[in-house]
Protein backbone atom coordinates (compact mmCIF):
# COMPACT_ATOMS: atom_id res chain seq x y z
CA UNK A 1 0.00 0.00 0.00
CA UNK A 2 1.61 3.19 -1.18
CA UNK A 3 0.98 6.49 0.50
CA UNK A 4 0.37 9.48 -1.66
CA UNK A 5 1.46 12.79 -0.39
CA UNK A 6 -0.72 15.58 -1.65
CA UNK A 7 0.97 18.89 -1.53
CA UNK A 8 -0.93 22.08 -1.07
CA UNK A 9 -0.97 24.40 -4.05
CA UNK A 10 1.85 26.91 -3.95
CA UNK A 11 0.62 30.39 -3.11
CA UNK A 12 2.90 33.26 -4.01
CA UNK A 13 4.07 35.61 -1.29
CA UNK A 14 4.90 39.00 -2.71
CA UNK A 15 7.36 41.58 -1.48
CA UNK A 16 7.05 45.33 -1.88
CA UNK A 17 9.57 48.13 -1.44
CA UNK A 18 9.10 49.81 1.94
CA UNK A 19 8.66 53.26 0.43
CA UNK A 20 6.02 51.98 -2.00
CA UNK A 21 3.95 50.61 0.88
CA UNK A 22 4.50 53.66 3.10
CA UNK A 23 3.82 56.12 0.28
CA UNK A 24 0.67 54.31 -0.82
CA UNK A 25 -0.65 54.17 2.74
CA UNK A 26 0.14 57.85 3.35
CA UNK A 27 -1.52 58.88 0.08
CA UNK A 28 -4.61 56.81 0.90
CA UNK A 29 -4.98 58.46 4.31
CA UNK A 30 -4.56 61.94 2.82
CA UNK A 31 -7.17 61.25 0.15
CA UNK A 32 -9.55 59.90 2.80
CA UNK A 33 -9.00 62.96 4.99
CA UNK A 34 -9.34 65.71 2.40
CA UNK A 35 -11.39 64.45 -0.57
CA UNK A 36 -14.78 64.38 1.24
CA UNK A 37 -14.44 68.12 1.95
CA UNK A 38 -14.62 68.80 -1.79
CA UNK A 39 -16.67 65.79 -2.93
CA UNK A 40 -19.08 64.70 -0.16
CA UNK A 41 -20.08 61.50 -1.96
CA UNK A 42 -16.45 60.30 -1.74
CA UNK A 43 -16.98 59.73 2.00
CA UNK A 44 -18.10 56.21 1.04
CA UNK A 45 -14.61 55.41 -0.23
CA UNK A 46 -12.36 53.90 2.44
CA UNK A 47 -8.96 53.90 0.71
CA UNK A 48 -6.91 53.23 3.87
CA UNK A 49 -8.92 50.05 4.40
CA UNK A 50 -8.35 48.98 0.80
CA UNK A 51 -4.60 49.58 1.06
CA UNK A 52 -4.38 47.68 4.36
CA UNK A 53 -6.38 44.81 2.93
CA UNK A 54 -4.42 44.66 -0.33
CA UNK A 55 -0.99 44.53 1.28
CA UNK A 56 -2.23 42.11 3.93
CA UNK A 57 -3.68 39.73 1.36
CA UNK A 58 -0.62 39.97 -0.90
CA UNK A 59 2.16 39.71 1.65
CA UNK A 60 0.46 36.89 3.54
CA UNK A 61 2.38 37.61 6.73
CA UNK A 62 0.08 38.16 9.74
CA UNK A 63 2.69 40.09 11.72
CA UNK A 64 3.39 42.46 8.82
CA UNK A 65 -0.35 42.85 8.15
CA UNK A 66 -0.96 43.63 11.80
CA UNK A 67 1.76 46.28 11.88
CA UNK A 68 0.67 47.84 8.60
CA UNK A 69 -2.95 47.97 9.77
CA UNK A 70 -1.87 49.56 13.04
CA UNK A 71 0.23 52.19 11.29
CA UNK A 72 -2.41 53.06 8.71
CA UNK A 73 -5.14 53.14 11.33
CA UNK A 74 -3.22 55.37 13.73
CA UNK A 75 -2.28 57.70 10.89
CA UNK A 76 -5.94 57.88 9.90
CA UNK A 77 -6.89 58.53 13.55
CA UNK A 78 -4.46 61.44 13.68
CA UNK A 79 -6.04 63.25 10.72
CA UNK A 80 -9.69 62.52 11.46
CA UNK A 81 -12.06 63.62 14.18
CA UNK A 82 -12.34 60.31 16.00
CA UNK A 83 -10.83 59.11 19.27
CA UNK A 84 -7.21 58.02 18.81
CA UNK A 85 -7.11 54.27 18.39
CA UNK A 86 -10.53 53.72 16.84
CA UNK A 87 -9.26 53.15 13.30
CA UNK A 88 -5.97 51.83 14.67
CA UNK A 89 -7.67 48.89 16.36
CA UNK A 90 -10.05 48.22 13.46
CA UNK A 91 -7.36 48.28 10.78
CA UNK A 92 -4.97 46.23 12.92
CA UNK A 93 -7.57 43.47 13.05
CA UNK A 94 -8.27 43.80 9.32
CA UNK A 95 -4.54 43.62 8.50
CA UNK A 96 -4.06 40.55 10.66
CA UNK A 97 -7.17 38.73 9.43
CA UNK A 98 -6.50 39.66 5.80
CA UNK A 99 -2.94 38.36 6.01
CA UNK A 100 -4.09 35.15 7.66
CA UNK A 101 -6.75 34.55 5.00
CA UNK A 102 -4.37 35.54 2.20
CA UNK A 103 -2.01 32.78 3.27
CA UNK A 104 -4.68 30.13 2.88
CA UNK A 105 -6.48 31.09 -0.32
CA UNK A 106 -5.57 32.34 -3.74
CA UNK A 107 -6.79 35.92 -3.65
CA UNK A 108 -5.66 37.02 -7.11
CA UNK A 109 -8.99 36.46 -8.84
CA UNK A 110 -11.22 39.55 -9.21
CA UNK A 111 -14.28 37.77 -7.80
CA UNK A 112 -12.42 36.70 -4.66
CA UNK A 113 -11.04 40.22 -4.28
CA UNK A 114 -14.55 41.67 -4.60
CA UNK A 115 -16.03 39.27 -2.05
CA UNK A 116 -13.17 39.65 0.44
CA UNK A 117 -13.31 43.43 0.24
CA UNK A 118 -17.08 43.36 0.71
CA UNK A 119 -16.67 41.12 3.76
CA UNK A 120 -13.85 43.17 5.28
CA UNK A 121 -15.80 46.41 4.89
CA UNK A 122 -18.47 44.87 7.11
CA UNK A 123 -15.86 43.42 9.47
CA UNK A 124 -14.17 46.83 9.78
CA UNK A 125 -17.49 48.53 10.52
CA UNK A 126 -18.39 45.82 13.03
CA UNK A 127 -15.17 46.42 14.96
CA UNK A 128 -15.75 50.19 14.95
CA UNK A 129 -19.32 49.74 16.20
CA UNK A 130 -18.15 47.35 18.91
CA UNK A 131 -15.49 49.81 20.09
CA UNK A 132 -17.92 52.73 20.08
CA UNK A 133 -20.62 50.81 21.95
CA UNK A 134 -18.47 48.99 24.51
CA UNK A 135 -15.48 51.24 25.12
CA UNK A 136 -16.91 54.68 24.35
CA UNK A 137 -20.55 54.05 25.36
CA UNK A 138 -21.76 55.81 22.21
CA UNK A 139 -24.84 54.64 20.33
CA UNK A 140 -23.95 53.36 16.89
CA UNK A 141 -25.97 51.41 14.33
CA UNK A 142 -24.45 48.10 13.33
CA UNK A 143 -25.55 47.84 9.71
CA UNK A 144 -27.31 50.25 7.40
CA UNK A 145 -28.07 50.85 3.75
CA UNK A 146 -25.13 53.29 3.71
CA UNK A 147 -22.79 50.50 4.86
CA UNK A 148 -24.12 48.19 2.16
CA UNK A 149 -23.58 50.88 -0.48
CA UNK A 150 -20.10 51.70 0.87
CA UNK A 151 -19.19 48.00 0.84
CA UNK A 152 -20.29 47.63 -2.77
CA UNK A 153 -18.45 50.81 -3.82
CA UNK A 154 -15.24 49.80 -2.05
CA UNK A 155 -15.39 46.26 -3.40
CA UNK A 156 -15.82 47.61 -6.93
CA UNK A 157 -12.95 50.06 -6.47
CA UNK A 158 -10.79 47.23 -5.08
CA UNK A 159 -11.26 45.17 -8.23
CA UNK A 160 -9.88 48.11 -10.26
CA UNK A 161 -7.28 49.30 -7.71
CA UNK A 162 -5.64 46.00 -6.74
CA UNK A 163 -4.22 45.29 -10.25
CA UNK A 164 -2.69 48.77 -10.20
CA UNK A 165 -1.11 48.06 -6.82
CA UNK A 166 0.18 44.74 -8.20
CA UNK A 167 2.60 46.81 -10.30
CA UNK A 168 4.41 47.89 -7.11
CA UNK A 169 5.68 44.35 -6.47
CA UNK A 170 9.40 43.74 -6.29
CA UNK A 171 10.60 41.72 -9.25
CA UNK A 172 11.32 38.13 -8.25
Do residues 133 and 139 lie in contact, with contact meaning Cβ atoms separated by under 8 Å? yes
From the CB of residue 23, how many other CB atoms can be counted at a distance below 10 Å? 12
- The predicted structure's pLDDT at residue 104: 83
Task: Judge whether residue 12 has pLDDT over 80.
Answer: no
Rounded to the nearest 10 degrees, the angle between the axes of helix 18-38 and helix 47-59 is 160
* Cα gap 107→166, rounded to integer Å: 12
Per-residue pLDDT reduced to its tens digit, 80-115: 988 999 999 999 999 999 999 987 877 889 999 999
| Predicted confidence band of residue 14 (pLDDT cuts 50, 70, 90) | confident
**154-171 pLDDT, tens per residue?**
999 999 999 999 999 887
Domain boundaries, the chain: 18-166
pTM of the predicted model, to two decimals?
0.90
**Predicted local distance difference test score (pLDDT) of residue 105:** 79
Summarize the confidence of residues 7-19 as an average pLDDT.
74
Q: Is the separation of the CB atoms in 78 and 84 below 8 Å?
A: yes
Contact 120, 98 (CB under 8 A): yes
Amino acid sequence: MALRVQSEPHIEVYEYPFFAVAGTAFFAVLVRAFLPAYFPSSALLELPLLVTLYFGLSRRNPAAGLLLGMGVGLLQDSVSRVPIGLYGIAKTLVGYAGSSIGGRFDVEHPISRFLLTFFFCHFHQGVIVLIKRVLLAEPETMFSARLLLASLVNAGIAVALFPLLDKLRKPS
